[in-house]
Amino acid sequence: MGMWWHISIASILALPAISAIVWWGLALGVMNQTEAALGSAEDGLDGEDQGLPVLIVIPAHNEQSVIAGLIASLRGQDYRNFRVVLALDRCTDATLSIALDTIDADDRFEIVEVSECPRDWAGKVHAIHAALAGRELAADQLLIFADADTVFDSCCVRACVNVLEERKLDAITLLSTLTYKRGFERRVQAPASMELLVRYPPRKASRDKRRRPFANGQFILIRRAAYEKIGAHAAFHEELLEDLAMARALWREKLRVHVLRAGRLLSCRMYPDPGAFERGWTRIFIEAAKRKPRRLRAWSIGTVLRGFVQPVGCLLAIAAAVSVLALHLSAWPWAFATAGAISTLGLVVWVGAIHRFLVFGGIDRWWRRIAILLWWPIGSLVLAGILRRAAGNLRTGVPTGWAGKSYVRPPR
Question: What pLDDT shows up at residue 317?
Answer: 95
What's the CA gap between 285 and 299, in Å, rounded?
10
CA neighbor of 382 nearest in space, from 267, 281, 246, 237? 281
Rounded to 10°, the helix 190-199/274-288 angle is 10
Q: Quick: pLDDT tens for 2-27.
A: 566 667 888 899 999 999 999 999 99
The CA-CA-CA angle for residues 43, 48, 53, to 5°, reads 100
Q: What's the pLDDT band for 47 if we cut at 50, 70, 90?
A: confident
What's the CA gap between 376 and 24, in Å, rounded?
14
Q: Is pLDDT above 90 for 285?
A: yes
Query: 285 lies in a domain?
Result: no
Query: 409 lies in a domain?
Result: no
Q: Quick: pLDDT tens for 108-151.
A: 999 999 999 999 999 999 999 999 998 999 999 999 999 999 99
For residues 171 and 260, membership in a common domain is answered with yes
Q: Is pLDDT above 80 for 56?
A: yes
Question: What pLDDT shows up at residue 410?
Answer: 80
Q: What's the pLDDT band for 46 if we cut at 50, 70, 90?
A: very high
- By CB neighbour count within 10 A (0-12 exposed, 13-18 middle, 19+ buried), where does 224 fall? middle
Question: What pLDDT shows up at residue 327?
Answer: 83
Q: Is 359 helix (H, G, I), strand (E, B) or coil?
A: helix
Query: 189 lies in a domain?
Result: no
DSSP 8-state secondary structure symbol assigned to residue 189: I
User: Lowest mean pLDDT: which of 59-73, 90-104, 353-367?
Assistant: 353-367
For residues 84 and 213, membership in a common domain is answered with yes
Query: 59 lies in a domain?
Result: yes
Q: Quick: pLDDT tens for 177-226.
A: 999 989 999 999 999 999 999 999 988 888 877 888 999 999 999 999 99
For residues 93 and 137, membership in a common domain is answered with yes
What's the CA gap between 127 and 133, in Å, rounded?
10
Q: Which CATH number covers residue 70?
A: 3.90.550.10
For residues 246 and 308, membership in a common domain is answered with no
What is the number of other CB atoms lying within 10 angstroms of the CB of residue 151?
20
Please give the radius of gyration of the chain, using alpha carbons only, rounded to the nearest integer: 24
**CA distances, 2 to each of 45, 81, 331, 356, 395 (Å):** 67, 79, 9, 43, 50
What is the number of other CB atoms lying within 10 angstroms of the CB of residue 67?
26
The residues near 129 (Cβ < 8 Å, ≥ 6 apart) are 121, 232, 233, 234, 237
What is the number of other CB atoms lying within 10 angstroms of the CB of residue 378?
14
Q: Check if the beta carbon of residue 74 is closer than 8 Å to that of residue 44.
A: no
Q: Please provide the average confidence, as pLDDT, over all residues in the chain.
A: 93
For residues 217 and 360, membership in a common domain is answered with no
Query: 195 lies in a domain?
Result: no
What is the share, in percent, of the chain residues with pLDDT greater than 90? 81
Q: Is 410 helix (H, G, I), strand (E, B) or coil?
A: coil
CA atoms within 13 A on the CB side of 12: 6
Q: Is 44 left (phi over 0), alpha (psi -120 to 50) or beta?
A: alpha
- By CB neighbour count within 10 A (0-12 exposed, 13-18 middle, 19+ buried), where does 88 fall? buried
Q: Quick: pLDDT tens for 90-101.
A: 999 999 999 999
More confident residue, 330 or 243: 243
Q: Which domain holds residue 108?
A: 43-184+200-272
For residues 8 and 51, membership in a common domain is answered with no
Task: Tally the domains of the chain.
Answer: 2
What's the CA gap between 67 and 86, in Å, rounded?
10
For residues 22 and 62, membership in a common domain is answered with no
Question: What pLDDT shows up at residue 409?
Answer: 75
Q: Check if the beta carbon of residue 40 is closer than 8 Å to that of residue 261.
A: yes
Distance, first Cα to last Cα, the chain: 52
Query: 339 lies in a domain?
Result: yes
Is pTM, for the whole model, over 0.95?
no
Q: Is pLDDT above 60 for 229?
A: yes
Beta bridge partners of 110: 85
Q: Find the helix or strand (DSSP H, E) in which 400 lies.
A: strand 400-402
Question: DSSP states of 372-396 as a string?
Answer: HHHHHHHHHHHHHHHHHHHHHHHHH
For residues 225 and 326, membership in a common domain is answered with no
Among 240, 272, 304, which residue terminates a domain?
Answer: 272
Its sign, for the CA torsion 213, 292, 128, 154, is: negative
For residues 158 and 247, membership in a common domain is answered with yes
For the segment 232-259, the average pLDDT, to the nearest whole number, is: 94
For residues 399 and 265, membership in a common domain is answered with no
Question: What pLDDT shows up at residue 2?
Answer: 57
